[in-house]
Structure 1
Amino acid sequence: MNYFESMERTIEYIESHLCEDITLDELAAMAHLSKFHFHRVFQAMVGDSIMEYIRLRRLTLAGQQLRQTRKRVVDIAFDYQFSSHETFCRAFKKTFGVTPTECRRDKVGLSIRGKAILRRDDSRLGGFTLEPKIIFKDTFTVVGMEIITTQEDNNTNFTIPKLWSRFNPRANEIENRHTGGLGLCVSEGFENCDFSYMACCEVSAVDSIPEGMIARTIPACKYLVFTHKGSVDNLGETYDFIYGKYIPNANYEIQSKVDFELYDERFKPDSPDSEMDIYIPIK
């Protein structure tokens, strides 16, 4: 699979449909990825989340319309798919620091979001490098706590750290558990950018399930396994490398299955010596 061609095709489609409704479903289908993985690959390669990129491109072109035409503000708002005049004005002011009226009246220069240009050697990622292992993991079962969330919701409301703060004190209630923990992402069957996240432990058998927890069986699969070294504060850089550089330049096709992070005895959250493994399912 050529990720660069898929993302470039997606960017061109977005550019020619900014005045129309654009859905995550159609973009992910165009890129031949699940919505979850499309979101991750796009953000890592472009630098903005998919919906933020679309929003900024629309606002940029709306700003050009304000300065170059005499169209009514409300008409420009509707042209670029904003639900109301008020919604458009709030988004414009938040992004550019001026209202649409001020932009037009004062011919204000805007900090625009240009059309994304992809580079195979992405300078944003510097000299960062990781070499993954390829392993096949047999079917396994986990027990733990689950939430339905999104990347944006987690970034804003810390939904995943809050889940771990509830799960960790109760992990010992799980029978037949293996040492360490897993952070499990399941994206199939969910709308938009939603995904299921489990804070859990692998188990050798399910004799009972503690209250407020669930069990899930994960099918056998082949994985790329990357080892993140250092504090979890830098985990985003590792994911940007994986989805923005390594996978687009490699000949692996991501599967729409379960991604997970493994936290074993090497994991020390805030230590520079900490290590954790990231499992990406591939075909």
Structure 2
Amino acid sequence: MLERLNEALEHIESHLGQRIEVGEMARIAVTSEYHFRRMFSALAGVSLSEYIRRRRLTMAGAEVLAGERTLLEIAVRYGYSSGEAFARAFRAMHGVGPGEARRTGAALRSQQRISFRLIVEGSSSMRYRVVEKEQFRVVGKKARVPLIHEGANPAIAEFIRSIDKETMRRIAALSDQEPAGIVGVSDGLDPSRAEGTELDYYHGVVTRADAPGSAPEDLDGLTVPAGTWAVFESSGPFPQTLQYLWRDVFTQWFPSNPYQSRPGPEILRTRLSQDAAHADAELWIPVERAAT
């Protein structure tokens, strides 16, 4: 898998001055476009689109300083429709405009080429199982929140505090299947997984799609089609354990197993210690068999 990802990275480098089709990169990596974006952001720590933007502006910066092409020629070469758009993007990355950089020979920033390699530690094993689920519903309260990669998500914490105890009691009573009890459900994530992009967060339970009374009018619901789920378990400090669990799933488990992620909500069941310092977590990721 990593070898194929590196071949896709070579495709980026050979097409920086052309239109880059993510579908073609996914084909090279022998996976879906959805999974390719997810894998890249997990492994690289930056979204695919942001990496391509930085690489183009790195190469454009070298050409600006070389002085062999006009600024407009460089702008067009790297996909910008106008000199103004190129100048804005250039300044955002390098901290100086292209004209000034050429006149003064300013120091510019560089996005180094990424390559992936597997580091085998072998110090721990990941507990997981694969589950087939029929169609079900998530029922609870929903909020639109930003994605946060490190630390607690204050928007989610504030949203949960805003739900009164009686509403939470009614929601909890609707749980009738795995994962049992109150869960956090993330849906509609941007494929880039870029920090700050928004998602729909449900604080609720999983219940049968046809269960009587499973859709009270004052609650939000999400119908989830039947499919395959990989379920991962982990324990440790909160909230790092939850964030590291997601990271390890995409950087360790997927490259080593014949599955790829598929579109769908991610479900997290968390049980905190009394002092909220420790968490037992169960993460449900929608998956499908990978192409071979």
Q: With the length of structure 2 as denominator, give the TM-score of the two structures.
A: 0.75
Larger fraction in helix: 1
2:147 corresponds to which residue?
154
**Farther off after superposition, 111-120 or 60-69:** 111-120
1:143 corresponds to which residue?
139
**Farther off after superposition, 210-219 or 43-52:** 210-219
1:65 corresponds to which residue?
63
In structure 2, give the amino acid aligned to 1:120. L
Report the CA distance shift for 1:131/1:163 in structure 2 as closer, same or farther (over 3 A): same
In structure 2, give the amino acid aligned to 1:182. G
1:91 corresponds to which residue?
89
> Partners in 2 of 1:20 and 1:269 — Cα distance?
55
Is residue 18–residue 78 contact of structure 2 (8 Å, CA) maintained in 1?
yes
| Secondary structure, aligned partner of 1:258 | coil
Q: Does 1:213 align with 2:217?
A: no
> Partners in 2 of 1:270 and 1:95 — Cα distance?
42
Q: Does 1:133 align with 2:139?
A: no
Cα deviation for residue 54 of structure 1 reads 0.2
In structure 1, give the amino acid aligned to 2:14. S
Cα deviation for residue 61 of structure 1 reads 0.3
Alignment of 1:1-283 (within 5 A): 3-121=1-119, 130-139=125-134, 140-145=136-141, 154-155=147-148, 161=156, 164-165=159-160, 168-169=163-164, 170-174=167-171, 176-177=174-175, 178-185=180-187, 197-199=200-202, 200-204=204-208, 205-207=211-213, 208-211=215-218, 213-227=220-234, 229-233=236-240, 235-248=242-255, 250-264=256-270, 266-267=271-272, 271-280=276-285, 281-283=287-289
In structure 1, give the amino acid aligned to 2:268. L
In structure 1, give the amino acid aligned to 2:70. R
> Partners in 1 of 2:53 and 2:217 — Cα distance?
43
**Farther off after superposition, 94-103 or 137-146:** 137-146
> Partners in 2 of 1:160 and 1:33 — Cα distance?
33
- Count how many residue pairs are aligned between Structure 1 and Structure 2: 270
In structure 2, give the amino acid aligned to 1:258. G
Q: With the length of structure 1 as denominator, give the TM-score of the two structures.
A: 0.77
Map Cα deviations across residues 207-238 of structure 1 (whole Å, 9 max, x no partner).
Answer: 23333512414414241414253222564433
Report the CA distance shift for 1:191/1:154 in structure 2 as closer, same or farther (over 3 A): closer
Determine what percentage of the aligned residue pairs are the same residue.
23
Map Cα deviations across residues 102-131 of structure 1 (whole Å, 9 max, x no partner).
Answer: 222222332311221211118xxx898551
- When the two chains are superposed, the root-mean-square deviation of aligned CA atoms in Å is 3.5
Is residue 173–residue 210 contact of structure 1 (8 Å, CA) maintained in 2?
no
> Partners in 1 of 2:39 and 2:192 — Cα distance?
15
| Secondary structure, aligned partner of 1:275 | strand
In structure 1, give the amino acid aligned to 2:117. R
In structure 1, give the amino acid aligned to 2:223. R
